[in-house]
Structure 1
Amino acid sequence: MLDELDLGIIQLLSRDGRMPFSEMAGQLGVTEKTVRARYNNLKENDMISVVGVVNPISLGLKIGAIIQLRVEHRHLQNVMEQISRCREVRYVTLTSGDYQLLIQVHVRHHEELTDFVKHKLGSIEEIAKVNLIVQLEVYKNTFSYM
């Protein structure tokens, strides 16, 4: 179970993943040693990962899309594994409803998106249907859960 201190550390790190333990300790009213121990515990128990988050546009990946995939249940694992290996794919999730999988991709231009859908997804026979939703503008993209 996470207590108030753990939640405080997570909240501070979600705003600034490079915040020094000493600064977190000051804001949370505990010692730096306590923050360090709690941080290490959160990491060791896979409750947090602290990584640099890249803005895809800064890498030239200007086109984002959400793609829903209809796949027969018996083929889900195979399709998820194949899709996860694609460099364009940033996110894969199993969902309820008419489409069992939802993926998010980022590419440089529309032609690259077309190529991904036609050739990469098109080569996976177990995909019965594709619903492509191109992202026109992102209004919110956060990593804070509190």
Structure 2
Amino acid sequence: MVMESDMIWSPLAGLDLLDRRLVHALQIDGRAPFSRIAEVLGVSDQTVARRYGRLRRDRTVRVLGLTDPLRIGLTPWLVRVRCTPDAAASIGAALARHADARWVNLISGGTEISCLAHAATPGHDDTLLLQKLPRTPQVVHVAAHAMLHIFFGKDLSPVSRSSALAPDEAAALAPSDAPAGPPPEAFEAPVPLAPGDHLLLDALAHDGRAPAAELATVTGWSQSTVRRRLSELRAAGALYYDLDFGSGRLQSELRAGLWLEVEPARLAEVGAALAGHGEVAFAAATTGATNVYAAISCKDPGALYRYLTGPVAALPGLRRTETAPIHRLLKGPGPYPA
């Protein structure tokens, strides 16, 4: 049995109540106008703007506008890189500087790297990472597994489970242009992107709250066209907003990568179960012998033990597990470092 006190790492720890409520609001809709957030939180627009400005300036949190690679015709890869003992940190730092790489972590005591990789645009899906890594002398082994389906992630995170906002407050902030319908891989064709879309999405990857006037300058569109295209891309599932927390906020708890081998017939059931576990920050189905990956956070080694021997062990169709502690986060969800 997992104790309630084991759950969960939260990037909101250490923030005051208003900041926690603001961050929860931004996780629900990263591009919500400050006026709407202020109305829900019961404070002034200026207070919300000032608070977010400070959080971003201190590198506590920033909003990013990110693309769902599956929805725009890209294949995301979950990559594990085993290095010589003296090389993992430097290779990991080099990967973190590359726009193809997201969620770059040192794992297994700092001798291995894990990351999510995909090309920046369709038509260039042979990522530089997958081409060059095997030829790096200090790299001993590279394993890359295609990501097929996300059970929990994208615009959902541990913050989504926060109780900082009451249910009615969270509902009031839900975006009207959020995608609905089948998952990305169920669509017959990806969302087509024009050159202006790439400029727009690249700007949002730096700052998900960039003003419409700034985005209009970048794309050469009118502000009304920018707003319309943002809504279209979001409704189609190609664009979502996530929060990038300063790496120092992610080090206080025990974090680990969890690779599971699951009977194919139970894959969806296991994914749904993992999505409901408070310890899970991300979960996806992949190719390979281990066909499910989850990023998890627990309070301490005892909590991790209870999680592995409780909820994980009870998953249906589970054949094998592998756990690798995350030693250090080198890069979060966006293509560009903070």
Considering the TM-score relative to the shorter chain, is it more than 0.5? yes
1:123 aligns with 2:139: no
Q: Give the Cα separation in 1 of the matches to 2:117 and 2:82.
A: 17
SS in 2 for 1:138: strand
The residue aligned with 1:43 is 56
Q: 1:91 aligns with which of 88, 103, 106?
A: 103
SS in 2 for 1:9: helix
In structure 2, relative to structure 1, the CA distance for the partners of 1:32 and 1:116 (3 Å cut) is closer
> 1:95 Cα shift?
1.0
The residue aligned with 1:140 is 152
Question: Are the counterparts in 2 of residues 71 and 128 from structure 1 also a CA contact under 8 Å?
Answer: yes
In structure 2, relative to structure 1, the CA distance for the partners of 1:13 and 1:93 (3 Å cut) is same
- 1:65-105 CA distances to partner (integer Å, 9 max, x unpaired)? 11111112211233124433544323311112696110111
Question: Are the counterparts in 1 of residues 89 and 106 from structure 2 also a CA contact under 8 Å?
Answer: no
> 1:34 Cα shift?
1.6
Unaligned runs of 5+ in 2: 1-13, 160-338
Equivalent pairs, count: 142
Unaligned runs of 5+ in 1: none
Question: Are the counterparts in 2 of residues 66 and 135 from structure 1 also a CA contact under 8 Å?
Answer: yes
Q: Give the Cα separation in 2 of the matches to 1:22 and 1:5.
A: 15
With normalisation by structure 1, the TM-score equals 0.81
The residue aligned with 1:52 is 65
Aligned AA for 2:92?
A: M
Aligned AA for 1:112?
A: D
- 1:11-34 CA distances to partner (integer Å, 9 max, x unpaired)? 111111121111111111112222
The residue aligned with 1:33 is 46
What is the CA RMSD across the aligned residues, in angstroms? 2.5
Q: Give the Cα separation in 2 of the matches to 1:35 and 1:98.
A: 39
Runs of at least 4 residues of structure 1 off by over 4 A?
none
Question: Are the counterparts in 2 of residues 65 and 106 from structure 1 also a CA contact under 8 Å?
Answer: yes
- 1:35-78 CA distances to partner (integer Å, 9 max, x unpaired)? 122111111111111221222234431x1211111112211233
Q: Give the Cα separation in 2 of the matches to 1:141 and 1:37.
A: 28
